[in-house]
Structure 1
Amino acid sequence: MIGHTPRRTTSVALLIVVLAALALSGCGGDRAAAEGEDPKQVDSTALPEVGKCRNLSHDDVSEAYNFDKYVPCDEPHNAETFGAGPLPDEFKDAGYGDEKVNEWAFSQCRKLLEDYVGSDQSLLMRSMLSHVYFGPSEKAWDEGARWIRCDVVGGGQQGAEYVDLPTTTRNLLKVKKVEDIEDRWMVCATGKTVTSPKVPCSDSHKMRAVTTIKLGEAKDKFLGVEDSKKKAAQYCRGSVNAWLGYPESFEYGYTWFGEKEWKAGNRWAICWAATKE
């Protein structure tokens, strides 16, 4: 199964300022705000505000930019902006929607999210938390806007539907033992296949994401589809068997990722165990 593919977005910075947005002058554009959008954000060249919350849909996160209105973070919301920052000079001439920079953005925001929620990549991939990223509109880009915004969303990981987040997700996954994390923040599957709908583990489920395994190192070339699947299946069989305490029989599954994710720095596969819950 191929997991999340890095989606199209605008060029991004090598340096993303977490929890400190530096104001840029100018806020322009003559496009009328669509329903649910904040007119002040539309076509703005200013850096997005960090610490703001929103309610995003799957359609929203498929776009390269987003100007949805803020909602108070102590009210129901499924997205929180945890990082924003300007582009370095090396990207000043990059084209709008540059794919190589898009791959970098996927990797960079993921690393920042690990730090923000207090997790490593393995745990984050088994959680209900994931990141999305946005850049300025094309009009703002043409006017010189060069920034990136990273949001954490309560869902999306392995296709899970979005759920409400707490007032802040800072250090939400920072625990001494994984078992101490509430099940509502861990991802499970409703059926006995990894392609079945994903839900928080606090909901009824038949499979749980229990471990991850590494398929390669940073400088390794993509293994290819068949070799990735074969290695993931082999490694996950042993990993899940150990997690279950070496039972006489067990059921397991695995999620492997494609070449785009590999280029973005994802060298992992997720291992799933069938459960009795």
Structure 2
Amino acid sequence: MTLSLSVPAIGHNQFLVADGTGPRLIRARRRSYNGRRLDQGESRVRTFPYFPLSRAAALTAGLALVVSTVITAPAARAVTPQAPPATNTCYDYRSSSSEDQTAAAVAVACEGEHTAQTFYTRSLPESFGIPALAGAKKRLKVAKPCTTDAMNAYLGLSETTIPSRFQIVTVFPTAGQWNAGERWMRCDVVLRGGKEFTRLSGGAPQLVASTPREQFHFCTPSVPGNRTKAAYPCTKPKKNWIMVAERDLGAIGKKFPGTRSVERKAKRICQRVGNRYTERKKFYPWWAIWPTRAGWKEGDRTAQCFVPYEQFVKTTTG
């Protein structure tokens, strides 16, 4: 299949559509980008921007960012046990779906519209117990194979140099499913389209193989802030900021080293990476994001680095 690249630039609420009947992205409903306070219980991370002159202090902001989402569920009514999930299976759930709805989602044909595709599955031992009652570290350990590298290898993005809008959703059985005898966990790949999961038609690896890589770059509508977990296509060079790096700050078993330590390490990483994407000789903007203690406990262990999309384009093209 081929892609038509002669159309006008798409907006942040639109997605690339491939010619013919092959894999494609479904156009999303128009949505606005409005700031909000973080909901109680959300994992917070802090941000640090570096700007020329005195703008740095004024633009420091809070941020909620969940790249790898671990989904569990509270107690549920008795259910009929289903066969364990299999790799390459597709599902059609939403980013706003409850834990029960996500874990109990029915498999759908990948040729039809869907939002998620499984790239890893495993069985859980009886001793694991109801996932909803398990601690974050316990869940993270059994989901250890679900890495960004593993996801990228499945998609065919192994040679990519910067993060994409593809993200991981880790799914455990509901209490009802567990009590019915289901002993599985799975990792799905989803494509963020703003605040929502993008609806796809066709398998995700096939979509990647037939789509220019830049269509999957992770941008924010403007300077990163408290909505940065919403990953948009990069279409507005003068407004967008692009994520150019995501680096591990600690293994699953590592204790939180303290806010100052995490902050310093994240800043060093992002300053070094940000230097690569500027034409300026003296002042250059970059933005760093790092986890808080609460986010660290839930498995958020990465530093994320952003630069203005305009600078990225100038330094990586031509």
Q: What TM-score, normalized by structure 1, do the two folds share?
A: 0.69
Q: Contact 2:141–2:252 (CA<8 Å) still a contact in 1?
A: no
User: How far does residue 168 in structure 1 lie from its aligned partner after superposition?
Assistant: 2.0
Q: Distance in 1 between matches of 2:199 and 2:71?
A: 25
CA contact (8 A) 1:6 1:261 kept: no
Distance (Å, rounded) in 1 between the aligned partners of 2:112 and 2:101: 26
Q: 1:239 aligns with which of 260, 273, 283?
A: 273
Structure with greater strand share of residues? 2
Task: Give the SS at the match of 2:190.
Answer: strand
5+ residue gaps in structure 2? 1-43, 46-64, 314-318
Cα RMSD of the aligned pairs, angstroms, is: 3.7
Contact 2:245 2:304 in 1 (8 A): yes
Contact map agreement 2:222 2:241 (CA 8 A) in 1: yes
CA distance in 1, matches of 2:252, 2:176: 36
Contact 2:234-2:240 at 8 Å conserved across structures: no
Partners of 1:261 and 1:113 in 2: CA distance: 22
Task: Report the count of equivalent residues.
Answer: 239
- Code of the residue aligned with 2:290 in structure 1: it is W
Task: Say if 2:295 is the partner of 1:257.
Answer: no
Identity, % of aligned positions: 22
Unaligned runs of 5+ in 1: 11-28, 32-41, 175-179
Give 2:113's aligned amino acid.
P
Report the TM-score when normalising by structure 2.
0.61
Q: Which amino acid aligns with 1:273?
A: V
CA-CA distance at 1:69 after TM superposition:
3.4
- Which residue of the other structure, out of 161, 185, 195, is the alignment partner of 2:226? 195
1:177 paired residue number? none
Counterpart selection for 1:268 from 302, 305, 309: 302
Distance 2:226 2:161 in 1: 20
Q: C-alpha displacement at 1:80, in angstroms?
A: 1.0
Which stretch of the first structure deviates more once superposed, 182-191 or 240-249? 240-249
Q: Does 1:215 align with 2:253?
A: no
Question: Which of 141, 154, 172 is matched with 1:135 structurally?
Answer: 172
Distance 1:143 1:69 in 2: 17
Tell me the residue number matched to 1:26. Answer: none
Cα 1:134–1:102 shift into 2, 3 Å? same
| Distance apart, 1:260 and its partner CA | 6.4
Alignment correspondent of 2:151: 113
Question: What SS does the aligned partner of 2:113 have?
Answer: coil
Please give the alpha-carbon distance, in whole angstroms, between the structure 2 residues aligned to 1:58 and 1:110: 20
Tell me the distance in 1 between the aligned counterparts of 2:201 and 2:279.
Answer: 34
User: 1:57-136 to 2 correspondence within 5 Å?
Assistant: 57-60=94-97, 62-63=99-100, 66-87=103-124, 91-96=125-130, 97=132, 98-99=134-135, 100-110=137-147, 112-119=150-157, 126-136=163-173
CA distance in 1, matches of 2:101, 2:144: 16
Amino acid at match of 1:230: R
Contact 2:87 2:118 in 1 (8 A): yes
**Alpha-carbon distance in structure 1 between the residues aligned to 2:248 and 2:279:** 21
Aligned partners of 2:200 and 2:251: how far apart in 1? 33
| Alignment counterpart, residue 170 of structure 1, candidates 189, 199, 205 | 205
1:89-145 deviation per Cα after TM superposition (whole angstroms, max 9, x unaligned):
xx3122212123312244332354243124469957x21111112223323322332
Alpha-carbon offset, residue 146 of structure 1: 1.0
Distance in 1 separating the partners of 2:206 and 2:190: 14
TM-superposed deviation, 1:150: 1.7
